Amino acid sequence: MSEEFLDAIQFSRSKLRVTDLNLKDKQLEALYACYEGHDCVAVLPTGYGKSLIFQILPWLLQKKYKKSEAMIVIVVSPFNSIMQDQVVGLVEKGIKACYLNNTGLAAKTYEIAQGEEDGDPDDEFKELETPVYTEKSVSLASLKNGDYKLIYAHPETLMSNSVIGRMLRSKIYKEQVGCIAIDEVHLVADWGQQFRKNFQRWPASQRSKRGTLDH
């Protein structure tokens, strides 16, 4: 792996606030494939840290292509719960991430506030404040402008919604989308060829993009 790639990895970790994290071999292999502009299929066990791979990509590709800001990574996912959990985790790190609902008519992110302290305020052993996550709408104008660098969406939304389709074909997205990550792609094999047909069609429809990462 080149020195430029390793420098880009360090830059990306600092932006994602995981500078003390040692990436595993297969994570690095997948990232290097994307860095070199290749399609990549990452078949890795639960808990290996697959999501971290595509969360690093906006800044890795920013370095690669010498952009002034992080590039956009679109994450195709079949489940709302996965998208919501990952957006919350990114917002906690100060990363602008959002998810589209299954109709593509609304985009959401989260705001994080500290909740009220539990117990007696004079008790030195009282429980610490717990964060409160509030869903927040994302304007279509902000989305079209490329303000969000990690965008999670259902495959049907990306394939069938005309508004989102025009956005993906816009000048900003043609220049700023660095990679498309397809999460939970193993479900096609697990549940058969009839499972979410757009989930299978999406990669073939996007070969003009710089790279595709399948998980």
- Please indicate, yes or no, if residue 152 is contained in any of the structural domains: yes
- Let me know if residue 154 belongs to a domain: yes
Q: What is the count of structural domains for the chain? A: 1
In a domain? residue 194: yes
Q: Which of 6-10, 98-102, 122-126, 129-133 has the highest mean pLDDT?
A: 6-10
Identify whether 132 is part of a domain.
no
Which residues, 6 or more positions from 126, have their beta carbon under 8 angstroms from its beta carbon? 117, 118, 119, 120
Most confident of 28-32, 162-166, 197-201, 206-210: 28-32
Position 21 pLDDT exceeds 60: yes
Structure tokens at 105: 């008519």
Q: Which of 175, 168, 108, 99 is nearest to 135 (CA)?
A: 108
Tell me, yes or no, whether 129 lies in a domain.
no
Please report whether residue 16 resides in a domain.
yes
Total Cβ atoms within 10 A of residue 38: 13
**Structural domain harbouring 183:** 3-110+137-214
Give the range among 18-22, 58-62, 120-124, 138-142 with minimum mean pLDDT: 120-124
Domain with residue 52: its CATH number is 3.40.50.300
147 vs 18, residue with greater confidence: 147
Weakest-pLDDT range from 21-30, 129-138, 196-205: 196-205
Domain assignment present for 120: no
Distance, in Å, from the CA atom of 104 to the CA atom of 25, rounded to the nearest integer, reads 36
At 207 the pLDDT is 43
**pLDDT reading at 104 higher than 60:** yes
Among the ranges given (83-97, 128-142, 182-196), the one the predictor scored with the smallest mean pLDDT: 182-196
pLDDT in tens, 28-52: 999 999 999 888 888 888 888 888 8
Considering the domain boundaries, does residue 118 fall inside one?
no
Nearest to 144 by CA among 162, 166, 161: 166
This prediction has a pTM of 0.82
